[in-house]
Amino acid sequence: DEPTTALDVTTQAHILATLRRLCKSQGVAAVYVSHDLAVIKDLVDRVMVMYAGRIVETATRDALFSRPSHPYTRGLLAAIPDVAGRRELRAIGGHAPAPGQRPQGCGFGPRCERFRAGCSQQEPLLQPLSPGHEVACLAPHGQPLQRIALAPIAAVDARTDK
């Protein structure tokens, strides 16, 4: 869980290379928990996006970053600073609910620009959008997201973690 938070980028790159090498050499999978989407995009095969303790979208890395469908996923990606471009930075309005104070129906409802009457009736369950891509939303987006430029992680040779 957040193993590289607060590390400098060089040390971070070494740790990520070590993770990759260990997974490959030991034939194991790893679950990496992070708020850092640049690391996620660089490291993983599949992504699960959680909001207020629930999985709201799951997909392969490529599908999630190119065709995010849940409004929260799209909000997260739109909030990434783009140092190369001149895109306006968009924050997600409101706040996540406090523990034990989830709203009725969709937990993201009070912050969602696509909120509609049915969203507060019952909690949406994960539904397949395409093979391997599921989303818990009554009105998921269907369009690709404008390309987001994430700063690449510093390159480190995966054969060494010195």
- Residues contributing to the site for ligand SF4 (CB under 6 A): 70-71, 106, 108-109, 112, 114-115, 119, 124, 137-139
Of 71 and 80, CB closest to ligand SF4: 71
Q: How far is CA 33 from CA 1, 48, 133, 160, in A?
A: 5, 9, 19, 23
Q: How far is the CB of 146 from ligand SF4 (least distance, A)?
A: 20
Tokens of 72: 């929260």
- Who contacts 86 (Cβ-Cβ below 8 Å, separation ≥6)? none
Of 65 and 108, CB closest to ligand SF4: 108
Q: How far is the CB of 94 from ligand SF4 (least distance, A)?
A: 12
Helix, strand, coil % in the chain, rounded to nearest 5 = 30, 10, 60
Q: How far is the CB of 136 from ligand SF4 (least distance, A)?
A: 7
In the chain, count H helices and then E strands: 4, 4
Of 92 and 139, CB closest to ligand SF4: 139
Q: How far is the CB of 154 from ligand SF4 (least distance, A)?
A: 35
